[in-house]
Structure 1
C-alpha cells in the first residue's frame, strides 16, 4: 500500500446543558415519553416567535473561552432553509455568517507529543427532531427539536486516526469539565462528523469523504483508520475517490455509503428576521470568563505541583472528574498524597467497578479514607489489613 498524505477536519455538534430549549420555554430532557417536552414554538406553529435562551449564550461563551476563540459580542442569527420531516418549521435558526467564536485552538497529546489543532468557528443553533424508522413507517419525536447546540468546526489540522480521536477526546473532556454539556455520545448529546481526504503530497487536497454520526471516541479512531485504508486501496488501484457521505459499520469494521454528493446544497441563508441582533455587555462576558471552571490540563498540572503526582497518575485521575474531585477531598486531609492517589486509582476504583458503582455515588467519607491511609503510613495497620478495613 502506498503512503498518502491524510487530511482530517472534524465537525462536532454538542447539546448545551440548559433546562429549556434554544428559542422556547419547553424543557430539555433525555429519555422522556415522546413528544411531551415540546411546545408551539418547537413545532413551528404559525404566529409563534423565538426568544433567545440567555443561559445557552453563556455556555457558548464558556466553550469559546476554553478553546481560545475570539468572541463576537454582537449575537446574530441566520435562517437555514431546507425541508425535512424532522424540521417542523422548514428552516433551522443558526449562525452561518457571524459565529459567536472563531480562530481558536485546542492542544492534544498523541504518544507524548503535543500539537495544536485549530478551531475555525463555534456557532449556536437549534437541534432537529429525532426520527425512528420502523416497518410500519417513520415516527418522529419532537422532544429534541429546538434543543440548544453549539457546532465546533476544526481546521483540517489532523493527519491520523490517533490525532482525530485525541482531538474529540480533548474537546469532550474540556466541555464536560466546564459544565457546558454532559457530552454523552451514546445519548447523542455530542455527535461527531469527520471529513477525510487523501492526496499524494501535502500541497494538494484529495476528494473529501464525510463520515457521519460517530458515537464514541473508539469509533472515531476505528472509522477514520478504516476510511484511510479504503481510500488508499482505491488510489493504489488507480481508481478515483468519490465525494460522498458514509457511516461506520461496527460489525463489518468498514465505512458504508449513505449518499453521494454532487456539489453543495443551497440552503438560501438569510438573516433571521424574528431575532434582532443582541449586543452583549462586555462586563457580562468578562464575568463569565473570569469564573470559568478549571480545565483538565490545568488540573493535571496543579495535581503534579500541589500533590507531587506523576503525569500518569494525574492523567488517570483527571480523566474522570468525579474521581479527581474525590481524590482532592482525600488529599486535603492527609500528607500522604501519593498513597491517596494509589488508593483512589487502585483499590477504590476496583471495588467500585466490581460493585457497578461510581465515585459520584460512593458513600465512603473522604475523611475516613484519609485516616485509613494515615494508619497504614504510621504502621499501625498493614496495607493488607487496610484493604480489609476498606471492604468493611
Structure 2
C-alpha cells in the first residue's frame, strides 16, 4: 500500500502499546505503531489535487460497541485482527473531496488485492476528522472525529452535518469540544460518543513482547517491481488507448473487477474499438451499476459475463435492439445467466428497422397532431422528440428511433 501511494518505506519498525480503557479493548491497550510506522510521506491524487498521506501503519482492530436504549453491547468478533490504517493530511476542504479521496483509496486497495472492499462488513471504513476555521485563517479549529463510517455516501453526509453543527455552535458563542462522535444514518446526525485524547494521552511505549521488525531493502524492491497496474495508470491508458472520457475512465477503474470485466469484454466486440469501448462503459455505468447497487453485488458476483455484454453491445451497434431493450436483456442475464439471444426472442425485443413497416405509424402520428406539426414547421424543432416518442409508443417501442427520426423529418419537410 505504501509503495502504491509513493510512501517512504521505513526498514526499521517498532510496534507500540496504545493504552486506553474502553469496553471494546479487553486488554486495556491496542497494539499499534507510533513513532516508527512502516510507511510515511506518500500521496494520492484526486483530480488536480494531491492529498498527502502522512503515514500507513499496522495495528490490531478493536471490538465494536453498539448503543441501545438504556444499555450498550460489545461485539469482540474482530478484536485483535490486524488492520492497515492510512492517515491522510488535512488537505480536503469539502465532503465531496473526502468522498473522492476515499473512493480513490478504495480502488487502490482492491486493485492490489490487500482488501476485498466489503463495506457492509466493515472491511473498509473511515474515521473522518472535521474542523472549521474563519476564512483567511491559517489555523485549523478544534477537530472532532466521526468514527467508523462504512459508506462513501454516509461519510459525505456525516461531514456535511458536522460542518453545519460546528458552525452553529460557534455562531451561538460556544466552543467546539475535541471528541469522538458517531454518525446515525437513520437520523442523519452525529452523536457524541466520548472525549477525544491527544497522542500523549495514550501513553505509547514499545511493546515489550514484540521484537523490532527490520525489513531488507531487496525485499522492498522485489515488492515494488511486482506492483500491478494501479488505477491511476489504468485510467490514463483507458483514456489514451480506448478514447474514454474522464468520467467513464474513472468509473470503469473504480473497482478491479469492473476494470477486468471491461477489458475482457472489449476484444469480444467487433468493429471500431473506441466506439465499442464507449458503448461498454455506458452500459457498465448505467444499467449494470444500478443492478449492482440494488443487489449489493459486484459484477463478478452476478451471472453477467463479458460474453453477454459483448453480445448486447453488438446488437445495439447493429440496431437490432434498442437502448431500452439492452437494459431489459442485462437485467434478465444478471439474475439468470441465460443466453442473450434467447431473452431477445422470448421478450420480442428485436427492433424494427423496416422503413415500410414504420412509415404508416409516422403518418398516423403526424395526421393526428396538426397543431404540433404547425409549431414544428414554425421553428419549434424540439417537438421532433415528441413525434419520435409518439411513434415509438405506436410501435410498442420496437421501431428503430434513429430511423423514426429520419422519417419524421422527411415527412414533416414534405408538409411545407
Which structure shows the bigger proportion of residues in strand conformation? Answer: 1
- State the distance in 2 between where 1:129 and 1:255 align: 20
**1:86, distance to aligned residue in structure 2 (A):** 3.1
- State the distance in 2 between where 1:270 and 1:264 align: 11
Contact 1:307–1:331 (8 Å) recurs in 2? no
Aligned to 1:190: 124
User: Which has the larger Rg?
Assistant: 2
TM-score normalized by the length of structure 1: 0.72
Matched, 1:307 2:242: yes
Matched, 1:93 2:93: no
Gaps of 5+ in 1: 1-62
Aligned to 1:128: 62
Aligned to 1:240: 175
Contact 1:186–1:215 (8 Å) recurs in 2? yes
TM-score normalized by the length of structure 2: 0.69
Q: 1:344 aligns with which of 276, 280, 302?
A: 280
Contact 1:192–1:215 (8 Å) recurs in 2? yes
Contact 1:101–1:121 (8 Å) recurs in 2? yes
Aligned residue pairs total 324
Could you tell which deviates more after superposition, 215-224 or 238-247? 238-247
CA 1:218/1:351 → structure 2, altered by over 3 Å: closer, same or farther? Answer: closer
Matched, 1:295 2:230: yes
CA 1:298/1:135 → structure 2, altered by over 3 Å: closer, same or farther? Answer: same
- State the distance in 2 between where 1:187 and 1:208 align: 27
Matched, 1:360 2:312: no
Q: State how 1:242-391 maps to structure 2 within 5 Å.
A: 242-261=177-196, 266-333=201-268, 334-347=270-283, 350=287, 356=295, 358-363=298-303, 366-367=306-307, 370=310, 373=313, 382-384=320-322, 387=326, 389=340, 391=343
| 1:150-178 deviation digits (Å, cap 9, x = unpaired) | 11111111222222222222111211111
**1:342, distance to aligned residue in structure 2 (A):** 4.4
CA 1:257/1:167 → structure 2, altered by over 3 Å: closer, same or farther? Answer: same
Secondary structure of 1:190's aligned partner: coil
Aligned to 1:40: none
Higher relative contact order (CA 8 A, sep 6+): 1
Could you tell which deviates more after superposition, 222-231 or 246-255? 246-255
CA 1:375/1:197 → structure 2, altered by over 3 Å: closer, same or farther? Answer: closer
Could you tell which deviates more after superposition, 304-313 or 214-223? 304-313
**1:376, distance to aligned residue in structure 2 (A):** 6.5
Contact 2:181–2:194 (8 Å) recurs in 1? yes
Contact 1:327–1:340 (8 Å) recurs in 2? no
**1:374, distance to aligned residue in structure 2 (A):** 5.5
